[in-house]
Structure 1
Amino acid sequence: MKFKFKPITPNLGIEITDIDLSKPVDAQTQKQLYDLWLQYAVMVVRNQKLEPPQFASVAQLFGDILQQQLTKFTLEDHPLVGTISSRDLPMVDGKLKVRGENFHTDHSNYLAPPKATMLHAVALPSQGGDTQFVDVRRAFDDLSPKMKEKILPLRSAHVYESSKSPRKMADISAEERAKVPQTLQPLVIGHAETGRATLYLNTGRMEGIEGVESAEAFKLIDDLYAHATQTKYEYRHQWKHGDMVIWDNRSVMHQANPDFDPSEYRFLYRIMLQGVPLNAFQKQNHEETAA
Structure 2
Amino acid sequence: MAYVFPTPIDPLAAYGPLIAARTADADDEKPGYERLVAEPMTPTIGAEVGGVRLSGDLDGATMDELRRALLEFKVLVFRDQDIGRDEQRAFASRWGELERHPFFVYTQPGQTDVDVVTLAKDAAAPGMENNWHHDITWHATPSFGAVLRAVEVPPVGGDTLWADMYAAYDLLPEDLRERVDPLYAEHDWIDSFGRAMPPEAVEALRPTFPAVRHPVVRVHPETGRRALFVNMLFTTRILDVPDEESAELLRMLYRHVQRPEFQCRLRWRPGTVAFWDNRSCQHYASSDYHPARRVMDRISIAGDRPVGVAG
Q: Same fold (TM over 0.5)?
A: yes
Aligned to 1:47: 80
TM-superposed CA distance for 1:170, in Å, is: 5.4
Alignment of 1:1-291 (within 5 A): 2-72=35-105, 73=108, 76=112, 78-87=113-122, 90=125, 96=126, 98-162=127-191, 171-177=196-202, 178=206, 179-262=208-291, 264-282=292-310
Letter in 2 for 1:118: V
Note if contact 1:99-1:170 (Cα within 8 Å) is conserved in structure 2.
Answer: no
Percent pairwise identity: 27
Superposition RMSD in Å: 2.0
Residues in 2 aligned to 1:156 and 1:70: alpha-carbon distance in whole angstroms: 22
Letter in 2 for 1:51: G
Note if contact 1:161-1:204 (Cα within 8 Å) is conserved in structure 2.
Answer: no
Residues in 1 aligned to 2:98 and 2:248: alpha-carbon distance in whole angstroms: 36
Residues in 1 aligned to 2:139 and 2:305: alpha-carbon distance in whole angstroms: 8
Residues in 2 aligned to 1:170 and 1:64: alpha-carbon distance in whole angstroms: 28
TM-superposed CA distance for 1:269, in Å, is: 0.5
Q: Normalized per residue, which structure has more strand?
A: 1
Residues in 1 aligned to 2:227 and 2:101: alpha-carbon distance in whole angstroms: 25
Letter in 1 for 2:296: L
TM-superposed CA distance for 1:136, in Å, is: 0.9
Unaligned runs of 5+ in 1: 91-95, 286-291
Residues in 2 aligned to 1:18 and 1:29: alpha-carbon distance in whole angstroms: 10
> Structure 1's 273 and 170: CA in aligned 2 closer, same or farther, altered over 3 A?
farther
TM-superposed CA distance for 1:63, in Å, is: 2.1
TM-superposed CA distance for 1:29, in Å, is: 0.6
Task: Report the TM-score when normalising by structure 2.
Answer: 0.82
TM-superposed CA distance for 1:9, in Å, is: 1.6
TM-superposed CA distance for 1:150, in Å, is: 0.7
Task: Report the TM-score when normalising by structure 1.
Answer: 0.87
Question: Which 4+ stretches in 1 moved above 6 angstroms?
Answer: none
Residues in 2 aligned to 1:207 and 1:103: alpha-carbon distance in whole angstroms: 14
Residues in 1 aligned to 2:293 and 2:92: alpha-carbon distance in whole angstroms: 25
Unaligned runs of 5+ in 2: 1-33
Paired positions, count = 271
Note if contact 2:154-2:289 (Cα within 8 Å) is conserved in structure 1.
Answer: yes
Cα shift readout 1:43-95 (whole Å, capped 9, x = no counterpart): 0011112211111001022222111222424864x4411111114964xxxxx
